[in-house]
Structure 1
Amino acid sequence: MGLLLAAPALPARAQAHPPKAPFFLTLHLAGGTGLVALGGGVRVAHERLEPEVLVGYLPRRLSGTKGLAIFTLKTTYLPWTPRFGDSRWHAAPLTLGARLTYTTGQQFFLTAASSGRYQPGYYWWSSAVRAGLLLGTRLGYQPSGGLRTALYSELSTNDLHLVSALTNRSLRLPEILTLGGGAKVR
């Protein structure tokens, strides 16, 4: 308590204009993270990198079994974010990213050996964990003194889909790509 009282007061200018909070909240729809996913993250590296955590849900009617929880670690890179003149609109015409998802449920396993259902070496991948890549775009708006809001869309794929496409030439792009999108607020 004494340290807080002894700390120097912020200059009047710093009090009038507090620094922007780098934290954001995300509502994500579809795209391999569940039908709906909620989460948040932080903008770092001069606001070009967005690591975040999402918790998604896929209802029973879409999963074919019980409802599934999907946990996602995702990072998005924004190489270029132009503004439209002096307006409050901004864009990210291209975003790149990667994600790692973990799907819960008894039918999913970390390793085939840990499932006890398959011979060693039968499956080389985990059915519970997927690593993926994404490509997207974003459009945002920031009213004066208000929350910065952005709508985004992403086209993504994962490790298993890519390997399947390389080994099965009959697969078409719509069969290995997923489309998702959402909103970010900070």
Structure 2
Amino acid sequence: MGRVANITALRALAVVLLASIPARAQQAAAGPYFLTLHVAGGTGLVALGGGYRLAHERLEPELLVGYVPRRLSGSKPLAIVTLKTTWLPWKAGLGDARWQAQPFTLGAMVNYTTGKQFFLTNNTAGRYRPGYYWWSSAVRLGLLAGTRLNYGRTGSTRTAAYAELSANDLHLISALTNRTLRLPDILTLGGGLKQDMR
């Protein structure tokens, strides 16, 4: 009788474990994905995209596709594709467990602007003598620092509002060679919203 009870208990345990596999797999696959709506900041007038949180939700790599209308680009509408990573070193509660501040964030990005007027290298453009332009007009590398306010609980759906100051490689090098440039000439303000998709 004891042996039969043990076998029945083992079978029941096996059924429960097997039945929980799809639920666990679905939970693992859900992950901390997020969608982003970003405004300005060197990624276009408006950009949409998303990413995935890593390193205990302290690192956020994401892909954004931005748009610049004709009236701001000077010629044709532009598309800007941006790979961006933000590091969030710490967060602080604001009394209510649903509100959290991340007072300081750091990040880096690289973006590519489409269009025939932009080139990867001057040599591939074929419009200027070799060495005339030492930089790429299509690709920009940038650094950013910002702040963020989160609403929602960790492990559930959250919304974050953020603001960032960024500077790209061309602006930083120009600041080193042209002392008349001021911080507003070098820095670009951007911001947006991030929504978890758990």
TM-score (ref. length: structure 1): 0.89
Measured against aligned partners, the alpha-carbon deviations of 1:125-176 in whole angstroms (never above 9, x if no partner) come to 1000000000000001016996300000000000000000000000010001
User: In 1, distance between residues paired with 2:28 and 2:117?
Assistant: 49
CA RMSD in angstroms, aligned pairs only? 2.4
Matched, 1:88 2:103: no
**How far 1:8 sits from its partner (Å)?**
1.6
Matched, 1:106 2:152: no
**Which amino acid in 2 is paired with 1:159?**
D
User: In 2, distance between residues paired with 1:88 and 1:14?
Assistant: 26
User: In 1, distance between residues paired with 2:194 and 2:60?
Assistant: 11
Measured against aligned partners, the alpha-carbon deviations of 1:10-39 in whole angstroms (never above 9, x if no partner) come to 28x979x88973100000000100000000
TM-score (ref. length: structure 2): 0.84
Matched, 1:123 2:133: yes
Task: Give the aligned partner of residue 48 of structure 2.
Answer: 38
- Partner SS state of residue 93, structure 2: coil
Matched, 1:148 2:158: yes
- Partner SS state of residue 169, structure 1: coil
User: In 2, distance between residues paired with 1:47 and 1:119?
Assistant: 48
- Equivalent of 2:70, from 41, 60, 75? 60
User: In 2, distance between residues paired with 1:140 and 1:111?
Assistant: 41
- Equivalent of 2:39, from 29, 53, 56? 29
Matched, 1:182 2:182: no
**Which amino acid in 2 is paired with 1:70?**
I
Matched, 1:167 2:177: yes
**Which amino acid in 1 is paired with 2:141?**
A
Would you say the 8 A contact 2:100–2:149 is kept in 1? yes
Question: After the TM superposition, which of the residue ranges 137-146 and 112-121 deviates more from structure 2?
Answer: 137-146
**How far 1:83 sits from its partner (Å)?**
1.9
**How far 1:84 sits from its partner (Å)?**
2.2
Larger Rg: 2
User: In 1, distance between residues paired with 2:176 and 2:104?
Assistant: 26
Unaligned runs of 5+ in 2: 1-14
User: In 2, distance between residues paired with 1:19 and 1:119?
Assistant: 52
> Do the aligned partners of residues 14 and 99 (structure 1) sit closer, same or farther apart at CA in structure 2, a change above 3 Å counting?
same
User: In 1, distance between residues paired with 2:83 and 2:107?
Assistant: 11
- Partner SS state of residue 50, structure 1: strand
Matched, 1:48 2:61: no
**Which amino acid in 1 is paired with 2:168?**
N
Q: Which is richer in helix?
A: 2
User: In 2, distance between residues paired with 1:19 and 1:129?
Assistant: 33
User: In 2, distance between residues paired with 1:139 and 1:124?
Assistant: 40
**How far 1:86 sits from its partner (Å)?**
4.7
Task: Give the aligned partner of residue 74 of structure 1.
Answer: 84
**Which amino acid in 2 is paired with 1:68?**
L
